[in-house]
Amino acid sequence: MTEVMRVLRREHANMAALVKTLDWQMREFEIGGQPDYDVIRSVVDYFLSFPDLYHHPKEDLVFERLKLRAPEVAERIGDLRREHEMIAARSREFSAGLKAILEEAHVPREAFVRWARAFIDVQMRHMDMEEADFFPSALQVLSDQDWQELETAMTTPDDPLFGENVGERFEHLHQSILRWQAEDQQARVAGSGAPGSSS
């Protein structure tokens, strides 16, 4: 495992946790409940301000190198850069829908659910594909020197949600995540040994 891949996988794990959070919130909304709009807002803001700006460009660099070393493998994987652009478009679409809802503009519930579901869906499918195909292929094809050069070429500022210093606008989400993790941990301890008690 290379340092670049460790970082990309860690970022995926963080993103997957957020997508799951969003999924819970949307379920609440879909059954007519009141979701935590602050949490939803922060999740979308995070995707716009970190993965779209710093995670996907790193993957693009790895993909470019893969294309150079094994064009046939890259071709099988597809057009990753375009997929990243499409994902960013889904983030912006969902963000605009949420903004309209928060400003109490008339947005049909179904439209909001559709944007949210499209966002959740595309994020999960994309990450699954990368984990199953793109990452293992890159690890197989690229040399130590490739990884070294890629690492040098990459810049990542501190992650505003999962990094050392949590940005002010992500504080509420950060606290919520810590609380959920603690609850999850407690539930696990309480449920350990009870067969079938999965969440």
CB of 15 to Fe ion, least distance (A): 7
* Residue 51 or 97 with smaller CB distance to Fe ion: 51
* Residue 101 or 138 with smaller CB distance to Fe ion: 138
Q: Residues 111-140 vs Fe ion: string with x where CB under 5 A?
A: -------------------x----------
Say what the alpha-carbon torsion angle 198, 133, 26, 52 is, to the nearest 10 degrees.
140
| CB atoms inside a 10 Å sphere around CB 11 | 21
- Residue list 43-82, contact with Fe ion (CB under 5 A): none
CB of 45 to Fe ion, least distance (A): 18
How many residues make contact with Fe ion (CB under 5 A)? 1
- Tokens 């959740």: give the residue: 120
Question: Is-contact 20 52, C-beta < 8 A?
Answer: no
Question: Is-contact 74 66, C-beta < 8 A?
Answer: yes
What is the contact surface with Fe ion in residues (CB under 5 A)? Answer: 130
